[in-house]
Structure 1
Amino acid sequence: MKNGRTVLVTGGTGGLGTATVAAFVADGWRVVTPVRAGSADRLPKGAVPLVADLTDETEVTRMVQEAVASGGPGTPLRAVVNLVGGFASGPLIADTPYAELEAQLAVNLRPTYLVTRAALPHLVEAGGGSVVCVSSRAALAPFPGGAAYSVAKAAVLAFSQAVAVEYRKHNVRSNTVIPSVIDTPANRAAMPGADPSKWVRPEEIAPTILFLASDASAPTSGAQIPVYGRA
């Protein structure tokens, strides 16, 4: 560790997550990543895994406290990166039950809200820091059959904006990355007929996330940064 700072990265075992964790490790951060039981081996070398269910408020609070305490005063929590999310599409709105919207909010907004909420007092105590959220181009440009997903990702945007407004005086910034389709194994499997060469690669998104978490972006808060592919 070179910079004496801790970053908490959720979704660290996913396609975008592994690239992001690796970028922070390479930059000298202490990287803590909550994982599901049995999945810690999928993390890049150098990350600190903590088992937690990010939909459970009690577990999230415990995990954040452990992440801070285990780092000690020499590596305070200075950034939170919210990558956890999920995708689903289906019929048009009239044929989509409300439960599907709730399910998308639960997987996309709930972890982001709970983790950020638990981490904010620690960021304030450390003198400030950065929250980075990941939404989707679908939040700005919905597509037929994806209303629940689009609404959930739009909620992430609104939440990040709220954090930026409420915590500006506490020197805590909040910004959102808005990628198009990400070139991950899961997306390739889900869309076998698509051309992944037009998608954005995780390695192209990770530097933007790292920048938003770092002091280099200190004047920036409330931004919504598009990171699109070639289509």
Structure 2
Amino acid sequence: MTNRSVLVTGGTGGLGGAVTAAFVEAGWRVVVPRRDDRGAARPAADGTVRPVADLTVADDVRRAVAVAADDPTAPLRAVVNLVGGYASGGLVHETPVDELDRMLAVNLRPTWLVTGAALPHLVAAGGGAVVCVSARAAVAPFAGAAAYATAKAAVLAFANAVAVEYRAAGVRCNTVLPSVIDTPANRAAQPKADPSRWVRPAEIAPVVRFLASDESAPTSGATVPVYGRA
């Protein structure tokens, strides 16, 4: 895979670090947008390229995608959408619509913008793959997180639409549905839970890499559960 690039959003997070490492290990050129400063794109110690971008802003997204697609020896062939966020609270009638707007903004908007900006490059390269991250809550909601479940269901619907619209162009789109991921943030937020039942980032990362690779060439429009024992 040394002759191709992948754009990984959320690549510095708990899941993103494992996914990024999996692609680096397989020899991909990996582009990981970051928000930590306003400097120029630069290579990181792990060999990834780190352009600055706010992935809720269309112009920033276009610039980040341009960085991912600017190496003629390694065309952009995959996009992995990991950016997202979680919130829970009351029941639907107790949840302000602003909370729904926020969940859509952090879960659906970056996925929509990044995928939309990258698709012309994937088509021009002769095809490629998009991998989105939804959540088990999208298909099995639980009380107190209707806004989150709705936003993750929207991600799933979007991914399925991309799979249908770009099939003829050779672009595949698949979605993974994690349960609770075993990250430091989730352990801190749920100190009484049993994390041994949660799915580890290192278990999800190979699934994501597989869906982005030629090994999964016949697969598009799939919804892949990665629940662990949760």
TM-score, normalized by length of structure 2? Answer: 0.96
Write out aligned runs for 1:2-17 (5 A).
Answer: 3-17=2-16
Amino acid across the alignment from 2:139: L
Tell me by how many angstroms 1:67 deviates.
Answer: 2.0
Amino acid across the alignment from 2:142: F
Name the counterpart of 1:61: 62
**CA 1:44–1:160: 2 relative to 1, 3 Å:** farther
Q: What number of residue pairs does the alignment pair up?
A: 227
5+ long unaligned stretches in structure 2: none
What is the distance in 2 between the residues matched to 1:184 and 1:44? 22
What is the distance in 2 between the residues matched to 1:95 and 1:109? 22
Provide the secondary structure at the position in 2 that maps to 1:174. strand
Name the counterpart of 1:94: 93
Name the counterpart of 2:140: 141
Amino acid across the alignment from 2:91: L
Matched, 1:184 2:183: yes
What is the distance in 1 between the residues matched to 2:55 and 2:32? 11
Name the counterpart of 1:175: 174
Tell me by how many angstroms 1:47 deviates.
Answer: 1.2
Amino acid across the alignment from 2:109: R
Is the CA contact 1:21–1:44 (under 8 Å) kept in the aligned structure 2? no
Amino acid across the alignment from 1:49: R
Is the CA contact 2:6–2:68 (under 8 Å) kept in the aligned structure 1? no
Percent identical: 69
The 4+ residue runs of structure 1 with deviation greater than 3 A are: 38-41
What is the distance in 2 between the residues matched to 1:184 and 1:38? 24
Amino acid across the alignment from 1:202: P
Name the counterpart of 1:36: 35
What is the distance in 2 between the residues matched to 1:26 and 1:46? 10
- Report the more deviating stretch, 110-119 or 30-39: 30-39
Provide the secondary structure at the position in 2 that maps to 1:20. helix
Write out aligned runs for 1:43-58 (5 A).
Answer: 45-58=46-59
Is the CA contact 1:88–1:149 (under 8 Å) kept in the aligned structure 2? yes
Is the CA contact 1:142–1:150 (under 8 Å) kept in the aligned structure 2? yes
5+ long unaligned stretches in structure 1: none
Is the CA contact 1:37–1:51 (under 8 Å) kept in the aligned structure 2? yes
Amino acid across the alignment from 1:229: G
**CA 1:126–1:10: 2 relative to 1, 3 Å:** same
Name the counterpart of 2:217: 218
What is the distance in 1 between the residues matched to 2:229 and 2:157? 26
Is the CA contact 2:5–2:31 (under 8 Å) kept in the aligned structure 1? yes
Amino acid across the alignment from 2:87: A
What is the distance in 1 between the residues matched to 2:45 and 2:167? 32
